Structure formats: structure tokens, C-alpha cells
Structure 1
Amino acid sequence: MSAQPIHSHPEPDRVPRNAEGIAAALEGERRMEFYRELLAAAPEDAEGVLRRWWCEAMLDTDPSGGRFTDAALNGTLPTKSVAAAIARRRAAGLPLSESHGQEPEGWPCELSEEVDALLADLSLPGEVFGAIIAATVQINETRRMPLGRDGVLGVAEYVIVADADPPYIVLTRIQLY
């Protein structure tokens, strides 16, 4: 099974885009979870499983990943607001998506500079932009969440800064397929 990425990646892939490469990049229980999900998937769903887990494996093997979490938790990660990303896209006349034209409600959510730069990319499809903005209202305790139906667009990673007053969330990294 072969699929083209949604968004071009500036660096070569650390993880091959196949089941063997994904499994090799995952450790222990996560590898077993990947295999269970892939083996249980109907043929028409297998590509979605591979896409989401490829994104998970890319985030797991990113050598700079921990630095984003640490910086977000200690308040030193430069961030931008979701509202600014939406306003910038509107000003450029680019689509947001059908249902994500307003700032989400709930805990404030900030974007790392890396995520803000991705959202500022004029070639980013409206569907992907909308899925990322929608993720800011779906945040729970998992630290990572799929983007789009079953994660076929990618995976978002975030940090809850619960010790701040008021608490807030930082969307630290996005791995698009």
C-alpha cells in the first residue's frame, strides 16, 4: 500500500512509510498497539492506520521532541495564539474549513512557533488547517491526538500547563502525513 503525503516534508523521513518501518520505530507496548490496530483494520481502513502510526513514529523518534515539552511546561516556549493564526489565514483569503471559522472555546490554547509556521504556510490545505484548529478543542489526557478522521491527516502533540494561572494548553508539534 502506497500513499502520497499531504504536505511535503523538508527533511527525509526518519521512519519508512510502511508497516515494517513503523513497527521498528515504535517501542514495546506502542509497537504491540500498532500491530493490534493494523491487524484488526478492515482493508479500506488499513491505510488510515498506517498513516496515523507513521506520524506517531515520526514524533516518537524526533530527537528534539522533549525540548518542546520541557519549554512549554517551564514557560519558555515562544507561542502564538490560535486567534492570530485564524486571522492571518482569513486576511490571506484562504479557506479555514467548513466548520472552523471561529476561535475555539475552552482553555486557552497557544501554538508553538513551529506549529504557527505550519499554519502560516499558504500551501496548507483548508481541511488540514481546520483539523488542527479543531484539535485545540478536543484536547484530553492523551498528549497526542489524531487529525482528521482516524488520524489520516496526521497527529498533533500538546502539553497542558496546569500549574499556570490560568491553566492553558500549548500545541507543540504537528506531524502531517
Structure 2
Amino acid sequence: MPETKSSRDEILDSIGEGLLTVDKNFKINFFNRAAEQITGFKREEVLNQFCKYVFKCELCESKCPIGLILESGNPLYDFRSNIEIKDGTRKPIKLNAAILKNDSDQPIGGVISFRDLSEIEAIKKDVSYAGNYFGIIGHGKTMQDVFRLIQEISESDATVLIQGESGT
């Protein structure tokens, strides 16, 4: 029995990862339920929109996942990035991308599956503040504040020297 479009969409909507497809012009032509939950966008809001204008991925211009796979012909696995979600905040994701081809084996677009890394990143931060930060041990409030400051500064390319007495 051949699959109908609606049964295919039902199957893709049951997947726990966000899933979207784009055509060769990078316009979104499928967006599953998990993608809606992760991004806050409804399917109707993103269909036929250019993906870079919807998600404003930090790498859209230089290392677009779909552009990379269309150039190389190879799928992309475990690619980390940050996207802008509907409320305007940035969300860390890990994605996989592959080329979609027609019956003549010609590229017609791409498919991206992605996972929300927000909870994992939050847990990593909590663990890093638990008294030991890259070998620096400190349980006091002052040291926890220093650890938080290090985390904030680490997102910069600037060189920073942190000094203090040992054992105090």
C-alpha cells in the first residue's frame, strides 16, 4: 500500500527530534511537531520561509549546514549551533543534515533533524559550579562568583588573567 502524504506526515510528527526540510532555495517545506515545540514557531508560520530568516542561526552565512551538505555531497552529523526561537532568545541545538534527492538522483533540498541542548547546557553549568571548576576548588560564595565570572568571560576571545592567593 503506497504511503499518502498525511500518513508520512503523521510518522514524521511522531519523532521526538525536530525535523524540517528545505528546498534548493532554502525555503522550509516541512516542519514537524517536535520542531514546533523546540522553537515555539507553528508550522504555518515557517512554511515557505527562508530558514535563515526564521532561525537566524549563528552560522547561516558562513557554515550553513544545508549549504555544506549540498557542496560536499556528504551528510553532516552532530553539528552544534545556536538558533533564535520565537521569543527572541537563543537556543543551543545539535543537528544532523542530509541531502534530499529526486528519482533522478539530483539534489532537491535538504533535511535537518535537531535536538534541544538547553537542558544539557544548564546541567553542565550547574555541575561546573558545584565547587570544582577546571581544577580550581572553592566552595565559598566568593569562589562561586569567580566561577560564574569565568564562565561569562569564556565566551569572549580576550585573554584574561585571574590571580589570587593559593589556599585561602
Q: TM-score, normalised by structure 1?
A: 0.28
> Would you tell me which structure has more helix in proportion to its own residues?
1
Q: TM-score, normalised by structure 2?
A: 0.29
> Would you tell me which structure has more strand in proportion to its own residues?
2
Larger Rg: 2
